[in-house]
Amino acid sequence: AQTVTQSQPEMSVQEAETVTLSCTYDTSESDYYLFWYKQPPSRQMILVIRQEAYKQQNATENRFSVNFQKAAKSFSLKISDSQLGDAAMYFCAYYSGGSNYKLTFGKGTLLTVNP
């Protein structure tokens, strides 16, 4: 079974600085997708960024980028120029697709942004 591990329960960053959130996963699949979701206090889960395992190039979305290391099964999220609105719980998630339709989530990292 696939598992997703987020080893940092909490992280903090100063406004305008950069922070990296860690995620490792375990799978025997060769083709899959990885995601970072953000869950602010409003509770709504918002997709931040997606990475296809077959792509070697790391995904980027504005201030958000990932470091995908397939051999190491590592998928970290870098937030540059942190803003107060980035404060939220961040979840790493795995999806294998095909006939497996579920997202498997880690336990999350609570990010605090200090002004």
Partner 1 sequence: DAGVTQSPTHLIKTRGQQVTLRCSPKSGHDTVSWYQQALGQGPQFIFQYYEEEERQRGNFPDRFSGHQFPNYSSELNVNALLLGDSALYLCASSLAGTGARWETQYFGPGTRLLVL
Could you list the residues that contact partner 1 (CB under 8 A)? Answer: 4, 31, 33, 37, 42-47, 50, 52, 91, 93, 95, 97-108
CA angle 25, 73, 57 (to 5 degrees): 120
Q: Read off the DSSP letter of residue 18.
A: -
Least Å distance, CB 25 to partner 1, is: 12
Nearer to partner 1, 73 or 110 (CB): 110
Q: Is the dihedral of CA 80, 87, 2, 104 positive or negative?
A: negative
Nearer to partner 1, 52 or 78 (CB): 52
The amino acid present at 72, given as its one-letter code, is A
Residue whose CB is less far from partner 1, 57 or 115:
57
